[in-house]
Structure 1
Amino acid sequence: MRVLIAIVVLFLAITARAQEAQNPCPDAQPVPPPLHLPATMPAGEPFQFEQQVLKYLSTLDYRKLGWCRDKWVRDTGPLMNGNAAIVHPAVHIYYSPEVSHWLLNGRQGDIPDGAVIIKEQFAPVPAARYRDIPEQSLGCSNDWTIMIRNSKASLDGWFWAEVWNGSKPSNSMKFTNKFQYPNAGYGLYCLRCHASAERQLTFSSLNNIEGAPGWPLQFRVDNSWMADSADTPPTTCGNGKSLIDFIQQSGISLSEWRTLRGEEVIEPSRFPSHEKNAAIQEDVEGVRFGAKLRTPTRQLLAIHAPAIQKFPPETLDDVLARPKAAGMQASESLPDFVTSSQCLGCHSGLTNTSLGPAMVLTSTSSPTINVSPYGEWRWSPMGLAGRDPVFYSQLDSELAFLKEHSQKQGVIDKCMTCHGAMGKRSFAAEHPKEDFDVNFVYDTDPASEGFKYGGLARDGISCEVCHRMAPPKDASLPYFLEHHINGVYDITPSNELNGPFKDDVITTYPMDTGLNIKPKHNDYIQSPQMCGTCHTILLPVVDSPKPDTTSVEQATYPEWLNSDYRDEYGSVGATAKTCQDCHMPSGYINARTNLYASSIKDRIAIVQDLTYPVTDHLATPDELNVRYREEGYRRHELLGTNGFLLQMFQQPVNDEGNNEVLGVRMADYMTGLTTDLEAASNNVVQQAQSITAAVVVTKWEVQDSKLIVEVTVVNKAGHRFPSGVGFRRAFLELQATMNGKPFFTSGATNDKGQITNFAGQVLPTESFAGGKYQAHFSQTNPIRSSDQVQIYEELTKNADGQFTTSFTRRDFDIKDNRLLPRGWSLKGPADLKIPEPYLHATWPVGDALKDPAYLSGRGESIVRYEIPLPAGANAGNINATVKLYLQTMPPYFLADRGQTKTPATARLEFLANSLGTLENTDYENWKLLIASATK
């Protein structure tokens, strides 16, 4: 035995000496202290550590450590006709001893923690500019990307950073950059390429190292770059030629630069792309939509803005994949959700960069439109659900009424199960005996218990909420309605995601490597029932004298089931459409942007795959074949008609913008586009005015001294219109003119969106004064006065008999004449029994039950107007225009929120005031046009 041990020891010693003899950098010194990661890293941008690293790298002292280094400055992709297809600028890399030993050992095992890779980056490309410059004369690259190993911090095990001279400290910025996507941290977008490496998330190769055998990869570089004057790097870091020189060499015009930055260019830099990105991210003033502030005045808002409760910046919504501990198994008991920050790197788009465009639509006559999954989702009401100021105001109003803790907590749990899905579910799994605190969403202290869960909650109906939703164990409708509404759903194991594509045609390697998640095919992701989980809401009636009283507060999914659009549970008709067919279209049509694409054909991930420049140690082709989808690409538009919410995020306030209050960055990091929110708002208008409802004048005649008009309103949606929360309303505005001069109106509004009569007086029904409200008008109950208006709405009263917008005090249904979908039936579908109370929740309430046209199942409402004619009027000189408008936040709803004095209601009031009258927008006077007709 001793002999055997001696032989093994001798063998290991010989092997070690052999490796040492082959080591091209045997005298390499340890990693210096400035590159040691601190024990804890602050949330968001780790500015202090970045400055420490930048200060050290600028000394170039790392070149004196004897570390292994690349043989020469090398390209990362080809350059042809002045166009570079590169993943980095020209690079020259230094490897700490831990990395070089790992390379010498054949890239086996794990790289030890503390290992460092320093990548000097030189621009402009190609590397040929720097090939003949000795290292001592190479000067400073002025830009570095670094990797520092820390396997305990995240699954990928690396701290990623890019630092450069010319970058500005956040505390010196005129406009804060606390919203920006970090330039340094764990789990950054660097993974979109590095997760494709075959081992340890690095492509480092012994071939590149000076003194080692082999040669670096070579790329085709033509002579187009030689037309530029030869440029040499500065001799001292942070100094050298003016930035103007480098901007001109980069192909960016000075006028474009000044437009982006809004100031003269004076700082030395060799990487204008960094400065351009910094300008986009840091200069909120420069990326706001519409510099003009609507009423009230900027000065007035400035007085009150500091007192408004603000959401933490979305940079703090950053929950990473856990390090894979030994023996750790994916489990349903621990959700292990990650935030969308871990998805944006691969599933956002790219514009016309060296590796784009991808998942963006461009044409010569329209702006660039980001149609990537992340890019569209983030400005949808689902992406904003965790920061929705209307929701939090509503929640505070509900809680203010309740006195018992158990009731308050019950409401919080039900509401946050959807709006803060990942935070609520994670906290419940990891703290089963504790109550979720809604104030977690305002927590900015990483050391506090609620910080992680607040970040998950603020991420709203995030990527993993839908893609980890598992089919119910029982497929029946009664079981679903009993167990899987109110946001309650079964979840996949944490290492699985559901997707629409078959397993044999999806690429799982990068996601598995970077996040320990494998996408899998599951048809349930395309099921409307999945949407029904959060769009079927049953709530307690907390003020009812009868215990355990409940009310269906939202019935969008049952409404769809009771329509001709249903394609689940029974026969499928010719008009069947899923939720996804309308809200996740496969094409892009928008007249506003003059862009028409019947279908989108593209890849759905921008990972490093077979289309990128070749690199060493890439995973195998079968693991990285990201397919170009000829069909099946679905946009994550996920919009309804709630453009008023988007206006709150879009509207500028003071020099900061509402994003200062709501905590969102206005630019998309991957594309650099600052127009995604504007595009989402345009898409709301497109959807509202094309596939929501239609208005037709079906009767027009003069009888004696009256004008008789009948207007048919047709619901084109697959559910009620409006649907969802009960305070939304649609109404008809009819204006009759004689010789062009109005003589009658019904449904006119003032600039606050309040409905007025012909004299401009606000109708008492707008505040339900004296218990008054608008009846349902029809062919047998015509409108004869300007005090009458057809409003499609749901009205409820509380236990005290007062009209209410509360979700939990819906004791009495007074009116519900919202437009029914085509195919609706009082008894429900012939081949499907919809359980109570959900079938009942699809019924009209009040006078609409007496309207045969409304109950016909055609999805129609016919409204008759009998209008007195002025003297001199005749069929030849009178005209009428009728318009259908939508309000998702009617004035009375906003007034109701103001009755409760809390930070959330004050914030909503502030944001609503910031919008003023919404003049010069599609939402002017607080109403959105859906359809119109003129006779």
Structure 2
Amino acid sequence: MRFHLTAAALFACLAGMGVTAQERALPLPSSLPLLDYQAQLYPFVAQRRFADLGWVRDKRWRDTGPFVMGTSYGIHPAVRIYYGPQVIDWLEGGRQGDIPDGAMVVKEMATPPAARYTTYRDTLEYLHPDDPAEVEAQMIDFLHRTGGLNWTVMVKDSALSYGGWFFASVDAAGQVDDFAAPYAPASGQAADGLCMRCHASAAEELIFSSLDNIEGYPGAPLIFRVDESWRNMTDQPPGPMNLPAVQRPAMGQSDAALIEDYFHNDAAYDRVTAGAAGGRPALNPDFTATFPPADGISIPAAQVPHMPGQWLDHVPSRPGGPQHFLTSDNCVGCHGGLGGPPSGTAMFLQTGPSYGDGYDISPYGEWRWSPMGLAGRDPIFLAQLESEFALLEQAGAGDLADALGTTCLSCHGAMGQRQLQIDAHANPDAGLNPDVFKPDYLSLHAPLTQAGQAAQEADGTYDYHQYGNLAREGVSCAVCHRIAPPRRAEGQPDYNTLDTYLMNGTTGVFQMTEADRLIGPYADVRRKPMENAMGITPVQDDYIKSSELCGACHTINLPNVDADMSVPLDGYTSADQDVFNQAARNGVALLKDSYGVTYPEGLTDFQHSVEQATYLEWVNSVYSEEATAQSCQDCHMKSDFRSADGTVALDRITTQIATIQDTTLPEATNLLPQAEIDVPMREGYRRHSFVGLNVFLVEMLRQFSTEMGMGLTQPMTYATNGAQLAIDTMAQQAREETAGIDIALRPAATGIMADITVTNRTGHRLPSGVGFRRAFLEVKAVDAGGQALWCSGCTNGAGVIVDGAGAPLRTEFLDDVPEGADMALYQPHHRVVTAQDQVQIYEELTRNAKGAFTTSFVNRVSHPKDNRLTPHGALAPGTAAFEAKFGGSAVTAAFMKATLPEGGAAQDPDFTAGSDRIEYRIALPAGVDPAGVTVTATLYSQAIPPYYLKQRFDTAPDGPATRRLYYLASHLRTEGTLIEDWKLATATASATLR
């Protein structure tokens, strides 16, 4: 056994030699904010003070994998590791027990292979046989000059996380993070998910270290094959380090120019990330003409509120045992895919020779750019909240703002809002307020410096920053993989399964698994790495495949704060109203019993109604029936893939679903048994794309990634097309799975009669979700030369529907009240369209108690129109077919009324479950031959139509989120995108009268 000084003895000796306190020891990572700690750790590493301290090191430079044809297949570059005294004590003790806090391992790294350094050192020792100091000095110079010397570091601190390690990657300059655009992953943080990918497979303490590698101990390091391709160093004299091409493999040709070490080369990451950044789009004149910058709503770019960078969304599993919610950067290392050789190809479709060429279909990669992954950063939602608060204040009900905001953030900021409730309940002395989750928390992050921490402590936000980190991730991994089926509370009626959900599982109020369990679809999973890294066991549970799981945030039952409590809301009976109100009270009771929170209690003083019914619409369709079943996951988590350019087409995806240090990687010491880390290939892999038709949101976040804190480069695969893949997937869904259009033409006395049938191909209403979304038909007649003759539903560049003269329709903004009328003009549901100012718009329109049209979620008193296309198989409560499917439950019948048409569509015999037929009477100019006219019908989708935006800008023009939305929307580049002219095309069809 090698003799070495203990840490205390070593420090005592060094103190006598005049070594400074900083060189003797470093503070624990948990004792300082992140950047303050990096500022102490990084110089210690980059200046190699660990070597000055005499730390024990590896016997020699060594490889971490084969080096063949100029390419390294190692997990790291060439390494020579230095070990702090506490780590040596632990290794000498047989890797038993816990490594003490403060223990460090510094992995010195250089461009592989190790042979270049051992060969160069042999040369130096030959030239300077009696001067080891000169050999060491020249060796370090060579490593800096030729090897690109850099380091990865592990520092033990059990107060940090469940795994208890701080990981860091330090460059030669010792540069600390700044978390600025274009948002690279942190170079150092607790429980780094990228590092945990491999280290979770270690047998003990998340570390692979072995005495076999270390100077003074018996044994030999692992040896990997290294060919002669590295001997091409033309800055060296001819000889062992500079062989002619004819003596190197393939005459010096290699894949090295195409493959880089993307995991440990910051320069490579920076190049890819920089290439992904785009310039800020210019102001859109069509938009500003439609929405003039009045009331101070227009602000310069420098004043636009920025969201924190996505890599500040960091909350690891806690020491001693996991909490329920942790951020996706804990998951990305294993579930973020690999982009090709030399690292491997998993959850990735590689289309080119370079690493990262292709499509990242990993769970992290597709979720990150989905509306679920963006929900906590959604600038449209945050502006909506400001409007809601302003309306409540105007109505004298401003005291309800906190309750409403907290309710809305139970989905949009699910992890932060719920974890705050859990923590406050578990530790009532902590002083946390679980009844208020402020939208401002979304701007909080862990303080990076002591000055930042002091500022947060001074303004009272310090205790809430971790919840902001969680909330910004929206509907993240740990939300869906934690949801458990709703349960009937004690004393409730004997509800059936559906009614148990309806009365106990909507509006973001969901049951959860235990904190140390995450559910998934597979039984034969490798559990130990996740248990090692986070203390969480992955378990099989079919509920993850249930549409009901999605319903937790896609069935929303909200109060109507200006409705008359003495009468039921429009369209409902008193019995129906009692059902909705009781469901709300049940949710309040569950939250109070579970977490002691009372914030929603004030909201139960109002009449409730279903504001969003996407899950209910699916239940009330053929897609929920066994013979024709298609779940939410079947449509929104595809198991196939087709690229937008048609070059890649897979009917079924087979891949590993996790990438860890397993038997496919180069051998490592002290690895878990093979059976615990051998990740199988899975057939029928489900993509985590989760898209609908909200291209507007993804384009905003992509085009304004700096303002919204989004990095465009995926940290594992280095793919930069994540946003584009989400948009391409939306385009495919819009084109193939949203709607169908059929046109039948016949001549008429003054032109053409067109029967146009629109078919709903979705498993819910079209459009679905929040009520302000709309879809409309553009029906255009053109002559043989392409000249437009007639158009219903044409728009200008801001997406505003115009008449034949190009003027906006009086119905477009729902605020034009004719003299003597009690309601603003709107487009009714049309059975027959006879003029260009008549447009078939599929939408839900709601009015408040004063009769004004509103997009508020809590002023929905009446619905003069709801002609959103119903799905196939939709049934009306009270019919024999409905009762045959659902039975006689009053709860089911009440909720299902929210899935039915209202207004003119309810009386239209051509508006049926799954389709609508409209007759267009197209008048042609005199002298035009109808036989040469082509009629084209296109169904367009607008996730944020003009009247919605106008209501935001009018309601809260001085709100920071509203001003940000105005800036983003007014600068959004739509030309050449899927949303050109502020509309997304779905189905289209053309016909010519012959």
TM range (shorter): 0.7 to 0.9
Aligned partner of 1:804 in structure 2 is 854
Structure 1 residues 430 and 129 mapped into 2: Cα distance closer, same or farther (>3 Å)? closer
Aligned partner of 2:751 in structure 1 is 706
Q: 2:388 is aligned with what amino acid? A: E
- In 1, the alpha carbon distance for the partners of 2:309 and 2:699 equals 19
* Deviation for aligned residue 1:165: 1.5
Aligned partner of 1:197 in structure 2 is 202
- In 2, the alpha carbon distance for the partners of 1:774 and 1:162 equals 60
The 8 Å contact of residues 180 and 309 in structure 2, kept in 1 or not, is answered as no
Aligned counterparts, 1:863-882, within 5 A: 863-882=918-937
Aligned counterparts, 1:743-762, within 5 A: 743-762=789-808
* Deviation for aligned residue 1:287: 1.7
* Deviation for aligned residue 1:931: 1.2
* Deviation for aligned residue 1:450: 1.4
Q: 2:884 is aligned with what amino acid? A: A
The 8 Å contact of residues 182 and 706 in structure 2, kept in 1 or not, is answered as no
- In 1, the alpha carbon distance for the partners of 2:543 and 2:560 equals 32
Residue 346 of structure 1 aligns to a residue whose secondary structure is helix
Aligned partner of 1:789 in structure 2 is 839
- In 2, the alpha carbon distance for the partners of 1:484 and 1:294 equals 44
Aligned partner of 1:359 in structure 2 is 347
Match of 1:538 among 557, 564, 572: 557
The 8 Å contact of residues 798 and 810 in structure 1, kept in 2 or not, is answered as yes
Q: 2:370 is aligned with what amino acid? A: S
Residue 422 of structure 2 aligns to a residue whose secondary structure is helix
Q: Which moved more, 1:301-310 or 1:91-100?
A: 301-310
Residue 965 of structure 2 aligns to a residue whose secondary structure is helix
Residue 417 of structure 1 aligns to a residue whose secondary structure is helix
Q: 2:198 is aligned with what amino acid? A: C
Q: 1:204 is aligned with what amino acid? A: S
Give the TM-score normalised by the residue count of structure 2.
0.81
Residue 881 of structure 1 aligns to a residue whose secondary structure is strand
Aligned partner of 1:424 in structure 2 is 417
Aligned partner of 2:775 in structure 1 is 730
Residue 57 of structure 1 aligns to a residue whose secondary structure is helix
Match of 2:484 among 470, 481, 486: 470
Pair 1:645 & 2:646 matched: no
The 8 Å contact of residues 883 and 930 in structure 1, kept in 2 or not, is answered as yes
Match of 1:588 among 641, 649, 661: 641
* Deviation for aligned residue 1:252: 6.8
Residue 478 of structure 2 aligns to a residue whose secondary structure is helix
The 8 Å contact of residues 782 and 789 in structure 2, kept in 1 or not, is answered as yes
Pair 1:527 & 2:561 matched: no
- In 2, the alpha carbon distance for the partners of 1:516 and 1:25 equals 30
Aligned partner of 2:607 in structure 1 is 549
* Deviation for aligned residue 1:776: 1.3
RMSD in angstroms over aligned alpha carbons? 2.9
Match of 1:69 among 53, 57, 77: 57
Deviations 1:347-369 (A, max 9, x none): 10221242222211123599511
The 8 Å contact of residues 61 and 117 in structure 2, kept in 1 or not, is answered as no
Aligned partner of 2:277 in structure 1 is 288
The 8 Å contact of residues 129 and 231 in structure 1, kept in 2 or not, is answered as no
The 8 Å contact of residues 124 and 250 in structure 1, kept in 2 or not, is answered as no
Residue 831 of structure 1 aligns to a residue whose secondary structure is helix
- In 2, the alpha carbon distance for the partners of 1:82 and 1:427 equals 52
- In 1, the alpha carbon distance for the partners of 2:486 and 2:680 equals 31
Deviations 1:504-556 (A, max 9, x none): x1101111000000100000000000001100000000011215311210000
The 8 Å contact of residues 737 and 878 in structure 1, kept in 2 or not, is answered as yes
Aligned counterparts, 1:390-401, within 5 A: 390-401=380-391
Residue 690 of structure 2 aligns to a residue whose secondary structure is coil
The 8 Å contact of residues 500 and 526 in structure 1, kept in 2 or not, is answered as yes
Pair 1:673 & 2:719 matched: yes
Aligned partner of 1:313 in structure 2 is 309
Pair 1:106 & 2:94 matched: yes
Structure 1 residues 604 and 790 mapped into 2: Cα distance closer, same or farther (>3 Å)? same
Match of 2:466 among 430, 441, 452: 452
- In 1, the alpha carbon distance for the partners of 2:777 and 2:283 equals 27
Pair 1:370 & 2:360 matched: yes
Residue 94 of structure 1 aligns to a residue whose secondary structure is strand
Deviations 1:673-705 (A, max 9, x none): 2211111111111111111111111x2111222
Match of 1:90 among 62, 78, 100: 78
* Deviation for aligned residue 1:840: 0.5
Q: 1:288 is aligned with what amino acid? A: A
Structure 1 residues 65 and 340 mapped into 2: Cα distance closer, same or farther (>3 Å)? same
Q: Which moved more, 1:58-67 or 1:106-115?
A: 58-67
Aligned partner of 2:265 in structure 1 is 273
The 8 Å contact of residues 843 and 865 in structure 2, kept in 1 or not, is answered as yes
Aligned partner of 1:823 in structure 2 is 873
- In 1, the alpha carbon distance for the partners of 2:884 and 2:893 equals 16
Q: Which moved more, 1:473-482 or 1:116-125?
A: 473-482
- In 2, the alpha carbon distance for the partners of 1:593 and 1:337 equals 39
* Deviation for aligned residue 1:315: 2.1
The 8 Å contact of residues 54 and 165 in structure 1, kept in 2 or not, is answered as no
Q: 1:539 is aligned with what amino acid? A: L
Q: Which moved more, 1:136-145 or 1:679-688?
A: 136-145
Aligned partner of 1:655 in structure 2 is none
Residue 647 of structure 1 aligns to a residue whose secondary structure is helix
Aligned counterparts, 1:851-866, within 5 A: 851-855=908-912, 857=913, 859-866=914-921
Structure 1 residues 127 and 186 mapped into 2: Cα distance closer, same or farther (>3 Å)? farther
* Deviation for aligned residue 1:482: 0.5
- In 1, the alpha carbon distance for the partners of 2:854 and 2:688 equals 34
Structure 1 residues 622 and 844 mapped into 2: Cα distance closer, same or farther (>3 Å)? same
The 8 Å contact of residues 412 and 475 in structure 2, kept in 1 or not, is answered as yes
Structure 1 residues 910 and 271 mapped into 2: Cα distance closer, same or farther (>3 Å)? closer
Structure with the largest fraction of helix: 2
Structure 1 residues 814 and 57 mapped into 2: Cα distance closer, same or farther (>3 Å)? same
The 8 Å contact of residues 813 and 950 in structure 2, kept in 1 or not, is answered as no
Aligned counterparts, 1:171-182, within 5 A: 176-177=180-181, 179-182=183-186
Count the aligned residue pairs. 853
- In 2, the alpha carbon distance for the partners of 1:445 and 1:178 equals 19
* Deviation for aligned residue 1:53: 3.6
The 8 Å contact of residues 27 and 66 in structure 1, kept in 2 or not, is answered as no
The 8 Å contact of residues 46 and 170 in structure 2, kept in 1 or not, is answered as no
Pair 1:633 & 2:685 matched: yes
Q: 1:552 is aligned with what amino acid? A: V
Residue 118 of structure 1 aligns to a residue whose secondary structure is strand
Residue 556 of structure 2 aligns to a residue whose secondary structure is strand
The 8 Å contact of residues 696 and 713 in structure 1, kept in 2 or not, is answered as yes
Residue 338 of structure 2 aligns to a residue whose secondary structure is coil
Aligned partner of 1:654 in structure 2 is none
The 8 Å contact of residues 289 and 650 in structure 1, kept in 2 or not, is answered as no
Match of 1:600 among 653, 660, 670: 653
Structure 2: unaligned runs, 5 residues or longer = 15-20, 126-134, 144-148, 238-251, 426-432, 448-452, 454-461, 489-495, 566-604, 818-823
Structure 1: unaligned runs, 5 residues or longer = 1-18, 233-247, 258-268, 652-657
Pair 1:892 & 2:947 matched: yes
Structure 1 residues 22 and 67 mapped into 2: Cα distance closer, same or farther (>3 Å)? closer
Aligned partner of 2:886 in structure 1 is 832
* Deviation for aligned residue 1:862: 0.7
Deviations 1:612-645 (A, max 9, x none): 111110001111021111x131100000110100
Structure 1 residues 594 and 167 mapped into 2: Cα distance closer, same or farther (>3 Å)? farther
- In 2, the alpha carbon distance for the partners of 1:410 and 1:593 equals 48
Pair 1:932 & 2:988 matched: yes
Q: 1:360 is aligned with what amino acid? A: F
The 8 Å contact of residues 181 and 309 in structure 2, kept in 1 or not, is answered as no
Residue 540 of structure 1 aligns to a residue whose secondary structure is strand
- In 2, the alpha carbon distance for the partners of 1:63 and 1:79 equals 28
Residue 534 of structure 1 aligns to a residue whose secondary structure is helix
Aligned counterparts, 1:23-422, within 5 A: 33-34=22-23, 36-38=26-28, 40=30, 46-131=34-119, 133=121, 136=136, 137-139=138-140, 141=143, 142-166=149-173, 176-177=180-181, 179-188=183-192, 189-229=194-234, 273-281=265-273, 283=274, 286-289=275-278, 293=282, 295=284, 304-324=300-320, 335-363=323-351, 368-402=358-392, 403-404=396-397, 406-422=399-415
- In 2, the alpha carbon distance for the partners of 1:820 and 1:311 equals 37
Structure 1 residues 297 and 810 mapped into 2: Cα distance closer, same or farther (>3 Å)? closer
Structure 1 residues 801 and 224 mapped into 2: Cα distance closer, same or farther (>3 Å)? same
